[in-house]
């Protein structure tokens, strides 16, 4: 007992041995063995370390602190985007509220010392929260995480965990949806066929069949040898289960293929869909169709006079209808060209053109031109025979050798009859 008290009271082993040598210890006293001394020192060291680690914790964790932690809850969750494509990244925000009030021992708030989110399906790409923070009664703290997934369509349940300094952790599982349904691009209005140099209108629909909104919707249209107005349109926000139309005009110079691309963002992730539309030339079934009829040809003093009617046999109005003669004809006054004006469907107008042509000319093309609703000039031609009119004019120019004497004879007979009539009246 003497040795133990001396060791505890601060005397070292060396002092004990010295006292034994100096006769301080009694004759029957014995020193502690070396192995026992080593084990005792190690025991005291571990006891001090364990006390340093355990005693503070036991001081924090109390019944009140555990009760206070039980009133902490996740008050709100936002996921942007709400539904992911495979390979998308998302931002997840948790709002954690301290539901305790300023009563009892909870006025100092609740201490959080760790927060993280995710699992093997929804992987955390940002860091976790490892620093302590004190949230007072009725206050809210937000935690923001970046996650990504390479999983296929489905619903996954990663875990949000929040560690307390004075109690166990809070665990909260939230659903994260993955859906690879894309935006749909459809052509809802296009001409039956295209005409070179003629402007036509195309209308497309962009539909969003997804469960979440998309943003920054843009449509681009390109095509070789084609003028497109506008070639790019910004449509902006497109809500879930909604659609929007876009219209653009196309004026093709050559046959080609239009490439229509819709770009959009799902959260901060870029996506796009593409569709092609062939541009092939043909006859427009609805366009105005001027037809020339009731044609008459006369030749007077070497000038041909062609008269007739132009009828619009199409389904749209022909604006600014003009008639003129083409080579080998040479237009002459007074009707080098003839303007009829607008012809509605099934309407007609008369015309007359004058021109000269070589003596051996058999026919001359008559051109009818008009403008469509976009101002495009559309022309058609119809050949008119003039050879018969030339023969008739030649015969009229040669005349009849008996014509002049006959006229003289008629004049003489008329004069003689008049003379006989007047003489007879005077005799009466």
What pLDDT was estimated at residue 422? 72
In 3D space, the residue among 188, 365, 349, 376 whose CA is nearest the CA of residue 284 turns out to be 376
Determine the Cα–Cα distance for residues 53 and 49; give it in Å rounded to an integer: 6
Quick one: tokens of 218? Answer: 């843009």
Q: In which band, very low, low, confident or very high, does the pLDDT at 330 lie, cut at 50, 70 and 90?
A: very high
Same domain, 47 and 75: no
What pLDDT was estimated at residue 44? 66
Q: Which of 279, 314, 331 marks a domain boundary?
A: 279
Quick one: tokens of 254? Answer: 């050559």
Q: Are 159 and 117 in contact (CB under 8 A)?
A: yes
* 190-203 pLDDT per residue, tens: 988 898 888 899 99
- Assign 424 to helix, strand or coil: helix
Determine the Cα–Cα distance for residues 199 and 248; give it in Å rounded to an integer: 10
262 domain-assigned: yes
Q: Picking from 32-46, 107-121, 122-136, which range would have the lowest pLDDT averaged per residue? A: 32-46
Q: What are phi and psi of 22, to 5 degrees?
A: -85, 0
Range(s) of the domain holding residue 100: 70-178
210 domain-assigned: yes
What pLDDT was estimated at residue 407? 66
Q: Are 221 and 237 in contact (CB under 8 A)?
A: no
Q: Are 193 and 283 in contact (CB under 8 A)?
A: yes
Same domain, 318 and 356: yes
Q: In which band, very low, low, confident or very high, does the pLDDT at 105 lie, cut at 50, 70 and 90?
A: low
Share of the chain above pLDDT 70, in %: 78
Q: Are 176 and 149 in contact (CB under 8 A)?
A: yes
Cβ neighbours of 13 (radius 10 Å)? 15
263 domain-assigned: yes
pLDDT for residue 246 is more than 60: yes
Tokens 């009760």 map to which residue? 67
In 3D space, the residue among 273, 291, 207 whose CA is nearest the CA of residue 243 turns out to be 207
Cβ neighbours of 23 (radius 10 Å)? 8
Q: Are 288 and 318 in contact (CB under 8 A)?
A: yes
pLDDT for residue 6 is more than 60: no
What pLDDT was estimated at residue 405? 60
What pLDDT was estimated at residue 395? 47
Same domain, 127 and 173: yes
Q: Are 341 and 383 in contact (CB under 8 A)?
A: no
CATH number of the CATH domain containing 198: 2.60.40.10
Q: In which band, very low, low, confident or very high, does the pLDDT at 393 lie, cut at 50, 70 and 90?
A: low
- Tell me the average pLDDT across 48-66: 58
- Tell me the average pLDDT across 44-49: 59
Q: Which helix (H) or strand (E) holds 221?
A: strand 214-222
In 3D space, the residue among 103, 170, 162 whose CA is nearest the CA of residue 136 turns out to be 103
pTM tops 0.75: no
Bridge partners, 350 (sequence order): 309
Same domain, 101 and 52: no
109 domain-assigned: yes
232 domain-assigned: yes
Same domain, 322 and 388: yes
Select the more confidently predicted residue: 102 or 20: 102
Determine the Cα–Cα distance for residues 174 and 156; give it in Å rounded to an integer: 8
**Number of domains forming the structure of the chain:** 4
Distances 368 to 45, 110, 318 between C-alpha atoms, Å = 114, 90, 11
Share of the chain above pLDDT 90, in %: 64
* 335-371 pLDDT per residue, tens: 999 999 999 999 999 999 999 999 889 999 999 999 9
CB contact set of 175 (below 8 Å; sequence gap of 6+): 155, 156, 157
- Assign 420 to helix, strand or coil: helix
* 272-308 pLDDT per residue, tens: 999 999 999 988 788 899 999 999 999 999 999 999 9
- HSE-CB at 363 with a 13 A cutoff on CA atoms is 9
What pLDDT was estimated at residue 284? 78
Q: Picking from 116-130, 356-370, 389-403, which range would have the lowest pLDDT averaged per residue? A: 389-403
pLDDT for residue 54 is more than 90: no
What pLDDT was estimated at residue 428? 61
Q: What is the mean pLDDT of the chain?
A: 84
CB contact set of 396 (below 8 Å; sequence gap of 6+): none
What pLDDT was estimated at residue 17? 39
Same domain, 46 and 104: no
Bridge partners, 230 (sequence order): none
Q: Which of 218, 251, 279 marks a domain boundary?
A: 279
What pLDDT was estimated at residue 104? 55
Same domain, 275 and 318: no
Q: Are 60 and 166 in contact (CB under 8 A)?
A: yes
């Amino acid at each position: 007992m003497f040795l133990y008290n001396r060791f505890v009271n601060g005397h070292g082993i060396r002092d004990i041995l010295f006292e034994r040598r100096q006769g301080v210890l009694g004759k029957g006293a014995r020193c502690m063995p070396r192995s026992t001394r080593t084990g005792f020192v190690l025991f005291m060291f571990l006891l001090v370390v364990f006390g340093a680690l355990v005693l503070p914790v036991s001081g924090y964790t109390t019944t009140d602190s555990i009760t206070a932690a039980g009133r902490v809850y996740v008050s709100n969750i936002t996921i942007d985007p709400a539904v992911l494509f495979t390979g998308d990244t998302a931002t997840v925000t948790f709002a954690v509220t301290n539901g305790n009030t300023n009563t009892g021992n909870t006025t100092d708030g609740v201490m959080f010392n760790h927060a993280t989110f995710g699992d093997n399906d929804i992987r955390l790409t940002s860091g976790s929260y490892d620093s302590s923070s004190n949230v007072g009664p009725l206050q809210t703290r937000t935690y923001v995480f970046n996650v990504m997934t390479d999983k296929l369509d489905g619903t996954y349940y990663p875990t949000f965990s929040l560690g307390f300094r004075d109690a166990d952790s809070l665990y909260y599982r939230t659903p994260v949806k993955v859906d690879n349904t894309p935006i749909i691009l459809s052509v809802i209005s296009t001409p039956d066929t295209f005409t070179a140099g003629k402007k036509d209108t195309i209308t497309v629909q962009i539909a969003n069949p997804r469960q979440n909104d998309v943003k920054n919707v843009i449509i681009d249209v390109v095509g070789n040898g084609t003028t497109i107005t506008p070639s790019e349109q910004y449509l902006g926000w497109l809500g879930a289960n909604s659609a929007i139309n876009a219209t653009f005009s196309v004026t093709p110079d050559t046959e080609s293929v239009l490439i229509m691309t819709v770009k959009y963002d799902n959260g901060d992730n870029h996506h796009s869909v593409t569709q092609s539309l062939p541009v092939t030339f043909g006859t427009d079934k609805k366009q105005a169709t001027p037809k020339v009829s009731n044609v008459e040809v006369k030749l007077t003093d070497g000038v041909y006079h062609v008269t007739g009617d132009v009828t619009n046999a199409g389904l749209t109005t022909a604006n600014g209808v003009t008639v003129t003669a083409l080579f080998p004809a040479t237009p002459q006054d007074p009707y080098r060209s003839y303007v009829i004006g607008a012809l509605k469907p099934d309407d007609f107008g008369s015309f007359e053109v004058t021109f000269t042509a070589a003596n051996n000319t058999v026919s001359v093309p008559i051109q009818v031109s008009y403008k469509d609703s976009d101002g495009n000039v559309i022309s058609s031609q119809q050949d008119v025979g003039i050879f018969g009119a030339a023969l008739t004019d030649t015969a009229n120019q040669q005349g009849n050798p008996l014509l002049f004497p006959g006229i003289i004879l008629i004049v003489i007979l008329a004069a003689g009859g008049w003379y006989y009539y007047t003489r007879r009246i005077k005799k009466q």
